[in-house]
Amino acid sequence: MPTWLHQGALTAALACCLLAAPAQAQQDAAVIKRATELRQGPAESSASLGALAADTAVTRTSERKGSWVKVRTAQGATGWVHMFDVGAQAGTAAAGSNTATSGLRSLGGLFGGGSSTTATATVGIRGLSAEDIANAQPNPAAVQQAEKLRVSADQAQRFASAAALRKQNVEPLPEPPRPTAPAGSGEFTPDNQSFN
Amino acid sequence: MRMPPLLSRTALAAATCAALAFAPLHSHAQGGVMNLLNSLGGSGSGGGLLGAVVGGGAQTNQGDDLFSLLSRSVENIDEPKEIEIGRQLAAVLLGSKPLHPDMALQRYVNQLGRWISLQSERPGLPWTFIVLDDTGYNAFAAPGGYVFVTKGLVDRCADEAELAGILAHEITHVTAKHHLHAMRKTAQSGVFTQLVASQIKTNALGNLVASQFLALGRNLYARGLDQTDEFHSDRNGVALAARAGFDPYGLVAVLQQLRTATPDNPMFTLALATHPPAQARLDQLEQAMGKRLDGYAGAAPVTVAQRLGGGSRKK
């Protein structure tokens, strides 16, 4: 058992989580990757509100419709751009957002440099780590319990039709050339084999 | 790079020696050696690790049987064996974090995942989807159809399409047998010797415990898969989610959010350490997708909370 995981801190984190969940309207600093148009609606065919040059700083809202996200320019214009035309602003990731809330929904860490509060409340809280796995003793009883929760193909079909999910024909995507210099992560790698 | 089988046996023999040499260092030295042999040999028949080395031994314990299977080739692992390997690895993951107690959530993720799996290349596997009670952000898969997401990950999905994209990515790891290939590669490499030696430790009773299979499994999840496998799962996952009727940009949205996660944020440490950088994954996806899937992206989003609350799609 990890001793750093204090009960009180955990409760606090969960409370934050509940409070933070509806606050999806976070605003993230982003940058336009290549010259494009700011569109009135989420479609290529939608009217242009003006040109956006490469490297224009914009604020990304949480609104997304398929491949389009709503952004706001520094001049205050709001419109839609294709997701692949928006990049993270350099330095955003480094912006201090490593707080209780930052790891949770709608916040800095995951959703990009939102406004963050102080880091004090959450010292010691963290996710599943490599050590947790290294120290794990197998729990076959829990596997059996999980297996009882399986659903059948029929049940899944019923779920899908209730949710108005319909299967579509989609061609496999082509494989692009691999990146030339794989920027490895693998801090836990005892060797470099994983990137061969 | 290819290891002849002979070499891997030598490596195993070395591991055994290392294990035995290690034993007397412990206070229960004498009992230690016996316990080590017992724990390695399962029911005390001298199988297990030794069995794997000498290629026999009656009644070897199951994990070590699976290990010797993995140390040969993936092709000779039939589906029941694959599922058994997956169950053992699932037990390791569930040994690190428990099942989340919200049964409605477990059921929902099973329905969602099972529906996606029906559009995969292996719809007939006994697919099992599991929400781990953990505030961190991660997802895992194990052979034979076991897929895990943390509660922290579910909470951070802006809508169902994002969760669908993540499940489709993990389902692809299973259908493509990425974990089996990774374990075989490790089992046949020289690194494995050090790995087993480093994992020999005493349990609460002071017994020495080591299992090659356990060592392989832990190593796999702490280290992650090959970069190419991750790119493959991203690409196939996007197409699979679209086949199941979801917005294919769900996974892209997830990766754009991950791109801004700080590497030192403890919630993301493991996820970031075991995957290629999100920017590299996005670049690969952009090249593969272009705008060819934009026509599938129109479905109105529904959040996980809406779905769990019995709500329908936002109009």
Task: Tell me, yes or no, whether A51 and A95 share the same domain.
Answer: yes
Residue B4 has pLDDT above 70, yes or no: no
pTM of the predicted model as reported, rounded to 2 decimal places: 0.74
Task: Tell me, yes or no, whether A121 and A68 share the same domain.
Answer: yes
Terminal-residue alpha carbon distance, chain B: 56
Residue B306 has pLDDT above 80, yes or no: yes
Segments forming the whole domain that contains residue A47:
1-130
Task: Tell me, yes or no, whether A44 and A105 share the same domain.
Answer: yes
Query: Poorest-confidence range of A79-93, B39-53, B65-79?
Result: B39-53
Compute the nearest-CA separation of A77 from chain B (Å): 23
Average pLDDT over residues B77-99: 93
Task: Report pLDDT digits (tens) over A110-147.
Answer: 222 223 322 222 333 456 778 888 888 899 999 999 99
Give the residue ranges of DSSP H helices in chain B. 5-22, 29-40, 48-54, 62-70, 79-96, 103-118, 151-155, 160-175, 178-187, 191-199, 212-223, 227-243, 249-259, 269-273, 278-289, 304-308
| Structural domain includes residue A151 | yes
Average pLDDT over residues A169-174: 96
CA pseudo-torsion sign A43, A45, A50, A55 = positive
Eight-state DSSP code of residue B99: B
| Structural domain includes residue A63 | yes
Task: Tell me, yes or no, whether A107 and A51 share the same domain.
Answer: yes
| Structural domain includes residue A180 | no
Task: Tell me, yes or no, whether A135 and A41 share the same domain.
Answer: no
**Domain of A17: which CATH number?**
2.30.30.40
Average pLDDT of the residues of chain B: 77
Q: Which of A130, A147, A174 is the last residue of a domain?
A: A130
Task: Tell me, yes or no, whether A38 and A126 share the same domain.
Answer: yes
| Structural domain includes residue A194 | no
Compute the nearest-CA separation of A55 from chain B (Å): 17
How many whole angstroms separate alpha carbon B106 and alpha carbon A139? 18
- Which residues of A are less than 8 Å from B137 in CB distance? 103, 110, 127
Chain position carrying tokens 């690194």: B191
Residue A185 has pLDDT above 90, yes or no: no
Task: Tell me, yes or no, whether A140 and A121 share the same domain.
Answer: no
Average pLDDT over residues B248-260: 91
ipTM, two decimals, is: 0.75
Residues above pLDDT 70, as percent of chain B: 69
Q: Which of A106, A130, A154 is the last residue of a domain?
A: A130
CB contact under 8 A, A170 and B286: no
* B contact residues 135-194, partner A, Cβ 8 Å cutoff: 135-138, 150, 152, 155-156, 158, 182, 185-186, 189, 191, 194
CB contact under 8 A, B224 and A194: yes
Task: Tell me, yes or no, whether A101 and A126 share the same domain.
Answer: yes
| Structural domain includes residue A72 | yes
Residue B310: band (very low, low, confident or very high) from pLDDT cuts 50, 70, 90: low
Please, which residues bridge with residue B58 across strands? none
How many whole angstroms separate alpha carbon B43 and alpha carbon A149? 32
**Main-chain phi, psi angles of B142, to 5 degrees:** -135, 155
The 3-class secondary structure across B145-214, one letter per residue, is: CEEEEEHHHHHCCCCHHHHHHHHHHHHHHHHCCHHHHHHHHHHCCCHHHHHHHHHCEECCCCCEECCHHH
Q: What is the pLDDT at residue B198?
A: 64
- Report how far apart, in Å, the C-alpha atoms of A15 and of each of A77, B172, B191 are: 36, 35, 44
Q: Which of A115, A130, A145 is the last residue of a domain?
A: A130
Burial group, residue B257, by CB count within 10 angstroms (0-12, 13-18, 19+) = buried
Task: Tell me, yes or no, whether A77 and A149 share the same domain.
Answer: no
For B92, which residue in chain A has the nearest alpha carbon? A138
Instruction: For residue B192, give every residue at least 6 positions away whose Cβ sits within 8 Å of its Cβ, in sequence order, or none.
Output: B8, B11, B12, B15, B186, B212, B215, B216
Q: What angle do CA A31, A32, A38 make, to 5 degrees?
A: 125
* B contact residues 217-276, partner A, Cβ 8 Å cutoff: 218-219, 221-228, 231-232, 235-236, 238-239, 242-249, 252-253, 256-276
How many whole angstroms separate alpha carbon A81 and alpha carbon A41? 9
Task: Tell me, yes or no, whether A66 and A144 share the same domain.
Answer: no
Chain position carrying tokens 């940009």: B249
Chain position carrying tokens 């389902």: B171
Determine the residue type at A175.
E
Size of interface A-B (CB pairs under 8 A): 311
Task: Tell me, yes or no, whether A67 and A148 share the same domain.
Answer: no
Other Cβ atoms less than 10 A from the Cβ of B197: the count is: 18
Task: Tell me, yes or no, whether A51 and A144 share the same domain.
Answer: no
* Number of domains into which chain A is organized: 2
CB contact under 8 A, A170 and B293: yes
- Check if B31 contacts A (Cβ < 8 Å): no
Residue B116: band (very low, low, confident or very high) from pLDDT cuts 50, 70, 90: very high
- Check if B298 contacts A (Cβ < 8 Å): yes
Residue B101 has pLDDT above 70, yes or no: yes
CB contact under 8 A, B123 and A153: yes
